[in-house]
């Protein structure tokens, strides 16, 4: 079973786009990379093209292999496959995590999240992947309307959050 990404971390980004990946994220990347071994860099896939989002997403080698298999299973030339190919092949990059846990964010990723100069990035775990935000944008959206908060409000104070795992869950 592959490791999941967990937690939220704020990391400094220098003027060249170098940033340290949170140590727990590095361990998850290593354990999910079939080519990784002690002393070798782990692979990280960065997806940055979704214009509906203000963040880039990081995927492990194993997660990306699952996505690629799903894309390959779709009929060629269909709108769904074309959209997925654009997002996961054309608007993505493969980077290596060095021995100190650092990467260089590719320029398109820095442009996407608005970090062309030095600043801070927030690494926000979402299970099998993680988001990379400009810290300013992350904190601005985090203080606004959050769809997750609306679901929790509908759940009510007297019900357990794990009820959301049930297929038949509804707000009543």
Both structure tokens of 70: 């799903």
Distance CA 92, CA 96 (A): 14
pLDDT tens for residues 43-98?
Answer: 999 999 889 899 999 999 999 999 999 999 999 999 999 999 999 999 999 999 99
Q: pLDDT at position 60, please?
A: 96
Nearest to 7 by CA among 28, 31, 25, 33: 25
pLDDT (mean) for 161-166 = 76
Residue 14 belongs to some domain of the structure? yes
**Torsion of Cα atoms, 103 then 138 then 165 then 50, to 10°:** -70
Q: What is the CATH number of the domain that holds 68?
A: 3.40.1550.20
Residue 169 belongs to some domain of the structure? no
Q: pLDDT at position 168, please?
A: 62
* Domain range for 30: 8-144
Question: Number of H helices and number of E strands within the chain?
Answer: 6, 8
pTM for the structure as a whole: 0.86
pLDDT (mean) for 134-145 = 83
Residue 119 belongs to some domain of the structure? yes
The phi, psi pair for 67, rounded to 5°, reads -65, -45
Residue 164 belongs to some domain of the structure? no
**Residue found by looking up tokens 């979704």 in the block:** 50
What is the number of structural domains in the chain? 1
**Residue found by looking up tokens 């608007």 in the block:** 91
Residue 99 belongs to some domain of the structure? yes
Both structure tokens of 48: 């940055």
Residue 86 belongs to some domain of the structure? yes
The phi, psi pair for 4, rounded to 5°, reads -100, 155
């Amino acid at each position: 079973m592959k490791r999941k990404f967990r937690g939220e971390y704020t990391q400094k980004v220098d003027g060249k786009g170098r940033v340290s990946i949170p140590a727990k994220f590095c361990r998850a990347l290593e354990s999910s990379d079939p080519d990784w071994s002690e002393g070798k860099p782990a692979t990280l896939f960065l997806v940055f093209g979704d214009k509906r989002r203000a963040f880039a997403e990081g995927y492990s080698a194993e997660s990306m292999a699952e996505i690629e298999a799903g894309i390959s299973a779709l009929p060629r030339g269909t709108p769904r496959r074309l959209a997925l190919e654009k997002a996961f092949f054309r608007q993505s990059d493969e980077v290596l995590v060095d021995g100190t846990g650092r990467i260089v964010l590719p320029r398109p990723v820095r442009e996407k999240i608005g970090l062309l100069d030095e600043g801070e990035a927030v690494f926000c775990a979402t299970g099998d992947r993680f988001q990379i935000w400009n810290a300013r944008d992350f904190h601005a959206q985090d203080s606004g309307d959050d769809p997750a908060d609306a679901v929790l409000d509908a759940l009510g104070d007297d019900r357990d959050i794990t009820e959301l795992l049930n297929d038949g869950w509804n707000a009543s």
